[in-house]
Structure 1
Amino acid sequence: MISPKTPDNEQQRLEAVHSYGLLDTLPEEEFDDITSLIAGICEAPISLITLLDAERNFLKSHYGLPFNESSRDISFCGHAILEPEPLFIIEDARLDPRFEDNPLVIENKAVFYAGAPLRTEDGLSLGTLCIFDTKPRVLSKKQKKIIIAMAKQVVKLFELQKKNIALKNTRDTLQKRNRELKEFAGIVSHDLKSPLANITALARLLKEEYGPNFDATGNQYIDYIEESSLTLKTYIDGMLKYYKSDELLAKEKVYVSLSAIYEEIEDILFIDNAEFKHPEDDITIFVNQPALVQIFINLVGNSLKYNRSSVPSVTTTFAENDSYYIFSVQDNGIGIDAKKQEGIFQLFKTTGEKDRNGHIGTGIGLATVLNIVSKLGGMISLESELGIGTTFTFTIKK
């Protein structure tokens, strides 16, 4: 017996083999289907998909054998990967000095072998798609062609596996960074709230105690300090809501009365002479209630804030189809310029318009709405006309 030589590019070859993440993995249907098919077409009792590791021949798929690895020193595949031809054939191993006293030949009656190297685009041989038989054989041209073609398909499956690993690693990295960003935002936001509150309180105290001693400009500066502190507080509160919105999505769906949701929104947001019109039918829906309430709080809250009508009015509607709940929120507010509508859901993107209290928004509320709606399997859109009002329509997957 002659053990197979080590390829000149062995280090690069081994790195390639390990990069696919297939060593020591369980059988998979797509690979087993190929070995079963090849065994049937070639009328062979054994068909394998192998990966040559440093010291062993790992059998990713092993049709006709009870074991999934063997020593590389006695492997036929170790010889096959050294050959430049697309198919390495031993018609009778008992007559070949490389295999005549090989344990696979003596103990397992491996007489006939045909193996197609599994080569990457860089020419690195990972292993083989091969068949064994217990008697001498001659393959037809058709059988040879099919083995070679299916070997290429095996490599394509390997590449797909590699891409899946890369995608999983990228996803895991993004999830980790997202968690870290949320933790960072939470810590920073929490740590900033206390000194901000102190700044606001000190500005008010300074104005109350020493305001009469300041001229108009000095008092204006104090007002600027207080206003800037309140604006920053609004940003911090908005960021906390944005990053905590994913926590709402973890809540279980429940059966809830739609009227109860509207009543909750009315209790939270509606004061003075504002009108809130909503369906009166007692409809029960199966939803993530806290997430839906948060969507309404943001949309209805904006409808009231960005509204200069003597009687601010908000109207909501509800419909459904086989797959989605469909909601809308319509107002008689100031409207949104058509040029600014496209980016309105982007984080920190604002229209630049002041609300009823003279404040400019943070651009966080609608980004939070989009985040929640998207993760609930829905979509959101808007129609708006300056001076007339805005209608937001969103869906939630049932």
Structure 2
Amino acid sequence: MQLTSIPKNETERLLAVKSYKLDRSQYDQNFNIITNLACSITNMPNALISIVEEDEVWFKSAKGMTICSSERNLSFCSYAIANDEDIYIVENTKKNLKFINHPYVKASNNPVVFYAGVCLIDKNNHKLGTLCVIDHKENQLNNEQIKNLKLLGKQVVKLIELNKSNHKLKQAKRKLIKKNKMLKGFASQVAHDMKMPLANMILTADILKKKYNKSIDEKGTNYLSNIKDASLSLSSYINNLLNYYENSSIDKKNVECFSFNQLLEEVIDILNIKVNCRINLPEKDFDIVTNRAALELILLNLITNSLKYNDKPETVIDVFLDTEHETHNYISVTDNGIGIAEEKQKKIFKLFSTIEETDRFGQRGHGIGLSTVKKLVSKLGGNISVKSIQGEGSTFKFSIKK
């Protein structure tokens, strides 16, 4: 059999069909729900979502029929998209001269006698295929059923267009992941290449001060001190930046059970605190299950900030753990430090955002630590927030998924 006609915009229509990049799986529940509804609305035993390509018609969803594809010349959907109207109905194919000898009509088992196909028309007026209902006996649709079938057809088009948008997003995500990997590699290489020259600058400054101490005046000594301080600051910046990128790949599935208070004690040992400080651990210890390395880094950053940004004779830090919630553990770190201005609290978790010129040791922050903390908390399935009063202190509260 040959089609009597093809759509006027066939070349553009075929390009449009390919552009949507639909897969041929019939297991997508979103499409299957629509064919189920089509059968229910029209009281028909069969419904298909067809995509019409150059030589073949394949079915994204099939209700009541076990069929994946058909030759285009044999498909009723081909007649539907070649029709000028947006719906094509044949109430009795056995009485229609165009189909009387059609193999699907003459079939001994379950012949196609009634057919109604709503064209799937995209925003550029391309007929991609049809949403059709089929019966094995003569039948008809009333106006309400036709109206509802057309509405379902529009929903199919929205699903197809959404599929295309999702495909583009996945492609963009893959490209971003690839670029991010390249940037991380580049940043890591540059950082490591810079470490040795910086170490040499720090060492050279110390040697010059010691060896030529009597020959250099106070102004020259200050210059050397500035060189050393700047080199140390840049070295710290590089280490923090590397830490930020390296911990972006923390595996949240790499979990273990451990004592929270023991972890805190290890963090305090690592910090080797030189200032007058009192850190209050939770009164009751709990075992928690999460990524230990990630939580250790979070606590290191938060407690370090509590130590650095504090102007009190004694630094007081309270760490609290709440395990009573069903889905998350909640941890807070409270200090009696300098606090954070309200207008700055919203941006402190952004990369490279700083809130103070220098800390108590005269060092400038790089705006990386809290950004790293936020990223790690997110990786652990939680959120972080801050409450602070200038001159009184700050409380950082974060959650981690159980």
Do both share a fold (TM > 0.5)?
yes
Match of 2:19 in 1: 19
Alpha-carbon distance, 1:4 to partner: 4.3
Report 1:196-207 matches (<5 A). Answer: 196-207=198-209
Match of 2:60 in 1: 60
Look up the equivalent residue of 1:60 and give its one-letter code.
K
Q: Does 1:326 align with 2:351?
A: no
Distance 1:215 1:24 in 2: 80
| Secondary structure at the counterpart of residue 82 of structure 2 | coil
Distance 1:250 1:326 in 2: 17
Match of 1:31 in 2: 31
Look up the equivalent residue of 1:199 and give its one-letter code.
M
Match of 1:130 in 2: 132
Contact 1:4 1:73 in 2 (8 A): no
Distance 2:175 2:263 in 1: 38
Match of 1:73 in 2: 73
Alpha-carbon distance, 1:81 to partner: 0.8
Distance 2:33 2:336 in 1: 63
TM-score, reference length from structure 2: 0.90
Alpha-carbon distance, 1:22 to partner: 2.1
Distance 2:91 2:346 in 1: 69
List per-residue Cα deviations over 1:28-52 (Å, max 9, x = no partner): 2332333344335444443211100
- Of 2-11 and 238-247, deviating more is 2-11
Distance 1:362 1:56 in 2: 60
Report 1:361-380 matches (<5 A). Answer: 361-380=365-384
Q: What number of residue pairs does the alignment pair up?
A: 398
List per-residue Cα deviations over 1:298-331 (Å, max 9, x = no partner): 1111111222333322222222322322222222
Look up the equivalent residue of 1:373 and give its one-letter code.
V
Inter-CA distance 135–271: structure 2 relative to 1 (3 Å threshold): closer
Q: Does 1:346 align with 2:354?
A: no
Look up the equivalent residue of 2:383 and give its one-letter code.
M
Inter-CA distance 248–264: structure 2 relative to 1 (3 Å threshold): farther
Contact 2:252 2:380 in 1 (8 A): no
- Which consecutive unaligned segments of at least 5 residues does structure 1 have? none
Distance 2:330 2:139 in 1: 68
- Of 35-44 and 55-64, deviating more is 35-44
Inter-CA distance 395–225: structure 2 relative to 1 (3 Å threshold): same
Look up the equivalent residue of 2:290 and give its one-letter code.
V
| Secondary structure at the counterpart of residue 62 of structure 2 | strand
Contact 1:254 1:286 in 2 (8 A): yes
Q: Give 1:387's match in structure 2, choosing from 367, 391, 396.
A: 391
Alpha-carbon distance, 1:365 to partner: 0.8
Give % identity. 41
| Secondary structure at the counterpart of residue 151 of structure 1 | helix
Look up the equivalent residue of 2:335 and give its one-letter code.
D
Match of 1:241 in 2: 243
Inter-CA distance 193–54: structure 2 relative to 1 (3 Å threshold): same
Alpha-carbon distance, 1:211 to partner: 4.0
Contact 1:3 1:98 in 2 (8 A): no
Q: Does 1:313 align with 2:309?
A: no
Look up the equivalent residue of 1:258 and give its one-letter code.
F
Q: Give 2:227's match in structure 1, choosing from 225, 228, 231.
A: 225
Inter-CA distance 241–73: structure 2 relative to 1 (3 Å threshold): same
- Of 95-104 and 288-297, deviating more is 95-104
Match of 1:88 in 2: 88
Look up the equivalent residue of 1:174 and give its one-letter code.
L
Alpha-carbon distance, 1:20 to partner: 2.6
Inter-CA distance 201–369: structure 2 relative to 1 (3 Å threshold): same
| Secondary structure at the counterpart of residue 391 of structure 1 | strand
| Secondary structure at the counterpart of residue 144 of structure 1 | helix
Alpha-carbon distance, 1:14 to partner: 1.6
Root-mean-square deviation (CA), in Å?
Answer: 2.4
Distance 2:73 2:297 in 1: 66
Distance 1:389 1:41 in 2: 64
Inter-CA distance 123–195: structure 2 relative to 1 (3 Å threshold): same
Alpha-carbon distance, 1:83 to partner: 1.9
Look up the equivalent residue of 1:382 and give its one-letter code.
V
Q: Does 1:171 align with 2:173?
A: yes
Distance 1:347 1:29 in 2: 41
Alpha-carbon distance, 1:359 to partner: 0.9
- Which consecutive unaligned segments of at least 5 residues does structure 2 have? none
Contact 1:129 1:151 in 2 (8 A): yes
Distance 1:93 1:235 in 2: 77
Distance 1:23 1:330 in 2: 53
Inter-CA distance 23–263: structure 2 relative to 1 (3 Å threshold): closer
Distance 1:130 1:206 in 2: 87
Distance 1:27 1:385 in 2: 55
